[in-house]
Amino acid sequence: MKLYYHLILASLILVLSAFSNNLEPQMVELDKLYYENTFESVSELDKAIIESREETRWEIKNGYYEGIPSTIEYQKKKSGHNGSMPILNIQPPHVNFAMKFKIQFSGLGVEYKSCKIGLTRYAASLRWSKLGAFFVTNHLKDSMCETESFKLEDGKWYECLVEVFENEMLISFNGGPHIYGNHEQLYGKHGLVPDLLKNGLPNQKVFGLFGGVGTTLRLYDLEVWSVKSDKKETWQASQKKVLDQKGLKFNQKFDRKKNEARLSELIKKDPRNAAISKVLAEERKIKLWSRTKKN
């Protein structure tokens, strides 16, 4: 009987290990846990680490950290950066770091091109639209990685692991792709935050979560780690597997205008577009697609 239970336990450990290994770091070696929050209980958050932006409204609710856009009154006062989408900044301990979390976008509607996660100040962001996912940098000029098969699903939870080491960044999704980029902008002036230099914190980066216009963004099980000074010895082999993924393209020029034209064509075919765009135009005062304006 004892042997039977040991076999059951061993099988369970193997299953759990196989599951957790889906999001084990591939590039960096974890060092110390810098910040952790499950958001299961209401508590005051450390604004030096986690901070909402543009007057967007965040609260710990039902075991999640939930963000919605700023008030309509606030949006009407601002012509841009008016909080029409929930935004949250997370401050890592160092320029190289790892971060793990679960995230959900809900209320996507037909226009969700603003949904993105990544380093702020145009350093590097993974942006979603109906065309797929695009990992862009250099002020949206370069696409480090892109795929048409990875599109957001409204209300679906995504478990994500982010690894950043100097010029390299790997964003892995449990059951999904491993999005990889290597670009000088990740470690250049756009990847760093000059304001933090005044506080004696050189070479800092800020990681941002951005919902689409009018969406609700939910977050839980957040972990932020410092990492060791060297990458994993196995990274070269792991990197090759990442680059060999089917359906992903690396190091492309990002043609924003062409993509927006393609996206506009897709949106025009959606029967919900006219009604939703009308509401967005009246309540959000956002920039709409040219076709929608004509309607």
Residue 280 pLDDT grade (very low, low, confident, very high; cuts 50, 70, 90)? very low
Q: What is the pLDDT of residue 236?
A: 96
Residue 239 falls inside a structural domain: yes
Q: Per-residue pLDDT tens for 202-248?
A: 446 899 999 988 899 999 999 999 999 999 999 999 999 999 999 99
Q: Is residue 220 part of a domain?
A: yes
Which one-letter amino acid corresponds to residue 149? S
pTM confidence score: 0.80
Say if 1 falls within a structural domain. no
Q: Is residue 102 part of a domain?
A: yes
| pLDDT for residue 114 | 78
Domain that holds residue 82: 23-254
- Which of 9-23, 43-57, 87-101, 135-149 has the least mean pLDDT? 9-23
Query: Does residue 245 belong to any structural domain of this protein?
Result: yes
Q: What CATH number corresponds to the domain at position 95?
A: 2.60.120.560
pLDDT in the model for residue 123: 84
Residue 278: inside a domain: no
Phi, psi of 172 (to 5 degrees): -110, 140
Residue 186 counted as domain residue = yes
Tally the domains of the chain.
1
What distance in Å separates the CA atoms of residue 222 and residue 103, rounded to the nearest whole number? 9
CB atoms within 10 A of CB 247: 11
Res. 195: pLDDT tops 80: no
- Separation CA 287–CA 285 (nearest Å): 7
Query: In this predicted model, which residue has the larger pLDDT, 295 or 169?
Result: 169
Q: What pLDDT is stored for residue 5 in this prediction?
A: 39
Could you tell me the two tokens for 295? 């309607």
Bridge partners (DSSP) listed for residue 61:
64
Across the range 126-140, mean pLDDT stands at: 90
Q: pLDDT tens, 88-132? A: 999 999 889 999 999 999 998 766 667 999 998 678 999 998 889
User: For a pLDDT cut of 70, what percent of the chain falls above it?
Assistant: 74
Do 217 and 211 form a contact (C-beta atoms < 8 A)? Answer: yes
- CA distances from residue 51 to 63, 66, 209 in whole angstroms, order as listed: 18, 13, 11
Nearest to 97 by CA among 38, 29, 51: 29
78 in a domain, yes or no? Answer: yes
What is the end-to-end Cα distance of the chain in Å, rounded? Answer: 73
| Cβ-based neighbour number of residue 45 at 10 Å | 15
